[in-house]
Chains A and B, each alone.
Chain A
Amino acid sequence: MGPRRRLAAFALGMFVFGGIVSVVVAFSVLPEGDRVFTVSSQTELTESRVITEPGYILQSLSAESRGGLTVVEWHDSAFGPMAERTGSYITLYVDGAAQASSLRGGFQGEFEEAPAGLRWAGNLPPGRHRFEVKLDRVDSGFAVPYAADGSIGVDNLTVTEYPAADS
């Protein structure tokens, strides 16, 4: 190898080495406490999912937390009662403990499909956490979601961790 080629290889090596050092410094050494992290899980259905027994797990996921303000959101695109004068509780469990429940009623039992949701915001300690959304009460049954005529019902769970404001 001639001296010109050796020097070109040396310069390229320096460039690659410098780039690797920069990436390592940026993503390993520097703090990452101010970033937003999101994890989600989704189910898509083209037919109604009718649930008649309580205890049905709608969504679940595990996520590693840095600790801090966490917002957990469950959304269903068309939550529909199957009988008149009924109600359904949807409960969020974090690490097995119930944190919040959303209640949806049904007066007529049909033509009352509508989006439904559950939203919880609170502080979690650092570490791995399990999030679970469960139907705790269904009375005569609920479609979660109702889907027909080519529609695509969605049911999803999103966990977002924010850097807290200083106010």
Chain B
Amino acid sequence: MPADEVYLRALIKPLGLVVAALGIAAIVALLARTVPDHRALASSSYFRDFRRLTVDSGAIPLHSVTYASSGGRATIRWYDSNFEPTKVQRHGIASIHVDGARVASVTRGSSSGTFQDGPIDLVWRGRLGKGKHRVVVLFEQGLAVGIPYTDKPKIGVDNLTITEDR
């Protein structure tokens, strides 16, 4: 048998391994490239005039969405561009509810009643089971609170975002 043929035969196995390794690498790259590393959902409300809410009893829904989770760590974040108490020495409270259970609340107080307003942000981080979940933001306590207060022609914003890790 010629020497070149001997060496070629000897190379068949290593070359086969290299081809197999490249195939595996290509499959891994394909999965890494196409599987989402995050999932996200947003609900936004825009206000060209202020919204002022009062809760005597019960609660007022600010956002309500159904989120299909693939199961895993999630961040639920509610933001409002201006939370404006107008009554002295009062608190305003809003909460995030997941599947009917309150999971996080934000409280903003005011001693003066006005000029103690500002953006408000509530972040909940936790695990969601695989499947559909109802996520609701409720305004639960407050008298004549601007959510948001805004002056024309400014655009107030109130949004809920849900992001989920892979």
Residues of A within 8 A of B (CB): 3-4, 7, 10-11, 14-15, 18-19, 21-23, 25-27, 30-32, 34-36, 69, 71, 84-87, 89, 91, 98-107, 114, 116-122, 136, 162-167
Contact = CB atoms under 8 A, between A and B. Distances in A.
Contact of B3 (A3, A31, A71, A103): A3
Interface of B: 3-4, 7-8, 11, 14-15, 18-19, 22, 25-26, 29-30, 32-42, 44, 46, 65-68, 77, 79, 81-82, 84, 111-112, 114-119, 121, 132, 148-151, 153-157, 159, 161-164
B33 A165 contact: no
Given A3-B7, A35-B37, A167-B41, A117 B79 contact: yes
A7 B22 contact: no
A162 B42 CA distance: 10
Contacts of B132: 167
Contacts of B118: 103-105, 114, 116
20 contacts: A3-B3, A7-B7, A11-B15, A19-B22, A22-B29, A34-B36, A71-B42, A98-B155, A103-B151, A105-B114, A107-B112, A119-B79, A119-B81, A120-B159, A163-B39, A163-B40, A165-B39, A165-B162, A167-B41, A167-B132
Given A26-B30, A91-B154, A121-B159, A14 B37 contact: no
Name the prevailing secondary structure of the B interface residues.
mixed
